Amino acid sequence: MRLLPLVVSVVSALSLAYYVYIPLPDAIQEPWKLMLLDASFRATFHLAVLKQWLGLDHYIKSIRQSTEFLSSESSGGVIPGVKIRDITFDGVAVRLYEPPAGGEGHLRRGLLYLHGGGWALGSSKRGTYDQINRMVSDELNTVVVAVEYRLYPEVHFPVPYLDCLAAAKHFLSPEVLSKYAIDPERVAVAGDSAGGNLAAAVAQEISTDDGVSVKFSVQALIYPVLQALDFNTPSYLQNQQMPVLSRNLMVQFWLQYLNADLSLQPQLLANNHSALHRSTITPELRSRVDWSVLLQQKYKKDHQPVVVEKGAHGIVKDVPALLDVRAAPLLASSEVLAKSPRSYVLTCEYDVLRDDGLMYARRLRDAGVTVTSEHYEDGFHGCFSFVAWPIEFEVGKRAVRGYLDWLQKNL
């Protein structure tokens, strides 16, 4: 009988190793750390789905509860020179970071930050979002406004976008800028992943709204998600199983955000929703997401466009937001893009969203906008947020420092 515990231990160890191990590219600098992180996320996701199947709670809410231990929520007050308050801007919850006041006549920078999380997860009050915003406020003498926009499943598009737009317009009002001693010529909007999507969409709307007198000076987009017409770009195929954002999960986030039936996932994965017979998707519109033209050869490699002649009927009609530039900023016209502020676009080689960011940077440049493209050859999706205990990666620390340095020089 003594052999039984040993057998059980060996089988358990092998099973755990099988669950944790996934093949990763050689360029990933800390592979086992990333494997363990991905395994913990997968376990959390699977458990949350099981709880939903049992009728206990929505899986997103379970994930939120399960991941709270990874980050702590800071309280208000003065913390190392930066005053932090939770208030509202035009009815939208925000966290405000104020650096120490300068002398009379010394104006400060301003930055509106929109966090990522698939329009369903995350909070600017927790973990590294809070830490990075404190760093920006302290190091760059910046008033940072982090928007706590509402999330799925409580709301769907366009509510998160409208929350961010309302907060942006309030922030950019001359009265508010004056109240916080912010230079109206030095105000930025930034965001990562789904937050990068919202930042790009808000920047487009502000830049074209004649009713807004103060515009954003710069936009900083961290591996933004920008289109939902082509889920077969080279980066979507190359990185479809990469941590921490798989191709399947990104499509699921899109369907949730747009309040669409999740059963449509196979159709979107096959690009059936953007088939050639769709009269609403004109050749000119398709050219705005044509990676075969917009990407450099080193990113295209040997991939070929996946273009379907006749796909499933009615998807675009049933989910019109697929073509809404407020949801998919890459679909904006060149005339709109030409009015965009000076831009910073961070992309990672091992990220399904790599090509979204690269295409947007190319289209902005073609429209005459000054763009800084920061590409991390060893980067993966989410690394920007993994810069502090208990989850930290060297590539994430470099990405955050690059973001801070760019803002220092350009804002």
**Which residues make Cβ contacts (< 8 Å) with residue 410, sequence separation at least 6?**
218, 342, 344, 372
What is the C-alpha to C-alpha distance for residues 378 and 383, in angstroms, rounded to an integer? 10
Tell me which residue of 345, 375, 316, 352 sits closest to 231, measured CA to CA.
352
What one-letter code names the amino acid at 350?
A: Y
Query: Which residue of the set 62, 123, 124, 193 is catalytic?
Result: 193
What is the C-alpha to C-alpha distance for residues 101 and 232, in angstroms, rounded to an integer? 49
- Measured from the Cβ of residue 79, the count of other Cβ atoms closer than 10 Å reads 14
Query: Which residue of the set 351, 355, 356, 378 is catalytic?
Result: 351
Query: How far out from the chain centre does Cα 357 lie?
Result: 11
Q: At what angle do helices 3-20 and 31-53 cross, to 10 degrees?
A: 100
Identify the residue whose tokens are 């490699």.
301
Query: Which residue of the set 170, 273, 303, 381 is catalytic?
Result: 381
What is the C-alpha to C-alpha distance for residues 241 and 223, in angstroms, rounded to an integer? 17
What is the C-alpha to C-alpha distance for residues 204 and 330, in angstroms, rounded to an integer? 10
Q: Is 72 considered catalytic here? A: no
The tokens describing 303, both together, are 């991939």
Q: Which helix (H) or strand (E) holds 403?
A: helix 394-410
Pairing of strands 142-147, 92-98: antiparallel
Supply φ then ψ for residue 96, to 5 degrees: -105, 130
Residues paired with residue 112 on neighbouring β-strands, in sequence order: 145, 189
What is the C-alpha to C-alpha distance for residues 290 and 213, in angstroms, rounded to an integer? 34
- DSSP state for residue 75 in the 8-state scheme: P
- 319 to 228, 238, 264, 267, 268: CA distances (angstroms): 11, 27, 10, 13, 12
Q: Is 193 considered catalytic here? A: yes
Q: Is 170 considered catalytic here? A: no
What is the C-alpha to C-alpha distance for residues 116 and 382, in angstroms, rounded to an integer? 9
Catalytic sites, residue numbers: 193, 351, 381
